[in-house]
Amino acid sequence: MDKQKLLQMYYEMVLIRRVEERGAELYQAGKIGGFMHLYIGQEAVSTGLIAAREPRDRVITAYRDHGVAINCGISANEVMAELLGKVTGMSKGKGGSMHMASVEKNMWGGHAIVGGHLPIASGLALGDQYQGNDNVTICMFGDGATNIGYFHEALNVSMAWNLRVLWVCENNQYGMGTAVERASAVSEIRQKAEGYGMKNGRVDGMDVLAVYAAAREAIDYVRRESKPYLLEAVTYRFRGHSMGDPERYRTQEEVKKWQDNDPIGIFRAALLKKKNITAAELDEIEARAEADTQKAVEFAEASPEPGMEELFRDVYVE
């Protein structure tokens, strides 16, 4: 991968981290409402994944979507504005944290019903197949989402209909407070693909380069063979499920162990091993991410709320 791309990925990972850290503060300050699910700890997954897509490849994910939005090219300004419910958010403040999308960036949301977006992903891919192109749809979801019927129906038709879908399970070990082993018949999510005769793989979701490599291979396979693929990325969320999680279900030691395995730290170390990248460059990138986050907060705070006319707008096209 060329240096520019590597540095861009590093920038995105740090930006996601900073944006969410500030988001958490603003949530505590009561400026953000509803549910907010932080991606902190999992940045390597969507960053590696989406770095491997072509712009024409579609992305769709669940409610843990701030990182995905930024990786897809949605600006920190829009993300922050949506969190604050401002009209300058990509969803005009009507969607909030769980509903970030951009047709222009080929990012199809941000969906809050667990597993509900998987059949929709099959539909995006069906649409492309119908129109005769070879776009790939990348659908991300959690480990907990693999136990619901939506998952089964979507994976089955993707195989039966030869749809170009890359199914990506972010196995962060828990669905809310329920450990994978307590909810799922199998502890390796990738094994579920066997029931569909679907090609599958498992990758370290804390290592962005490993994710990128696995995603590249999977995307090529999906595009070339016109068949779906299930990729499991093993990762961990450093924060609670959403704001205000009692976290009775895991120990501080466990969390600590994973935090020592920070995807940003891992990536930084890996980059510094390359002789053409210096610590100064990375520091500069971190400073830029910091500054851009600050600008995003200012932009969001300064942005207007949606006017009352927005209340009845867009219920219908006609």
Map the footprint of a copy of itself across residues 184-213, applying CB under 8 A. 184-186, 191-198
User: Which of 128, 143, 204, 232 forms a contact with Mg ion (CB under 5 A)?
Assistant: 143
SS3 labels along 195-234: HHCCEEEEEECCCHHHHHHHHHHHHHHHHHHCCCEEEEEE
Rounded Cα distance between 205 and 170, Å, is: 8
Task: Write out the binding residues for a copy of itself, residues 147-186 only, by CB under 8 A.
Answer: 147-153, 155-157, 159-160, 182-186
* Structure-token match 């066997």, residue found: 194
| 172 binds, options Mg ion, a copy of itself, another protein, none, Cβ within 5 to 8 A by partner type | Mg ion
Does 115 contact Mg ion by CB under 5 A? no
Q: Of a copy of itself, another protein, ligand TPP, none, which one sits near residue 64, judging by CB under 5 to 8 A according to partner kind? A: ligand TPP
Contacts of residue 185, Cβ cutoff 8 Å, sequence gap at least 6 = none
CA 105 to chain centre: 14
The residue range among 2-10, 41-49, 95-103, 219-227 that interacts with another protein, by the rule CB under 8 A, is 95-103
Give the start-end residues of each E strand in 218-312. 229-234
**Is residue 231 within 8 Å of 167, Cβ to Cβ?**
yes
Residues 6 or more apart whose Cβ sits within 8 Å of residue 10: 264, 267, 268, 271, 282, 285
Q: Does 91 bind ligand TPP (CB under 6 A)?
A: no
Residue 182 or 274 having the CB closest to a copy of itself = 182
Residue 246 CB, nearest approach to ligand TPP (Å) = 15
Calculate the CA 36 to chain-centre distance. Answer: 14
> CB–CB of 303/88 below 8 Å?
yes
Is residue 318 within the footprint of another protein (CB under 8 A)? yes
Residue 186 site contact among a copy of itself, Mg ion, another protein, none (CB < 5 to 8 Å, cut-off depends on kind): a copy of itself
Does 236 bind a copy of itself (CB under 8 A)? Our answer is: no
Angle between helices 208-225 and 263-273 (to 10 degrees): 90
Size of the residue set binding Mg ion (CB under 5 A):
5
Considering only residues 138 to 197 of the shown chain, the ones binding another protein according to CB under 8 A are 144-145, 147-150, 153-154, 156-157, 160, 175-178, 182-184
Question: Residue 160 burial by CB count (10 A; 0-12/13-18/19+): exposed, middle or buried?
Answer: exposed
Q: Which does residue 279 bind out of Mg ion, ligand TPP, a copy of itself, none, counting CB within 5 to 8 angstroms by kind?
A: none
Where along the sequence are the contacts to a copy of itself (CB under 8 A)?
147-153, 155-157, 159-160, 182-186, 191-198
Where along the sequence are the contacts to Mg ion (CB under 5 A)?
142-144, 172, 175
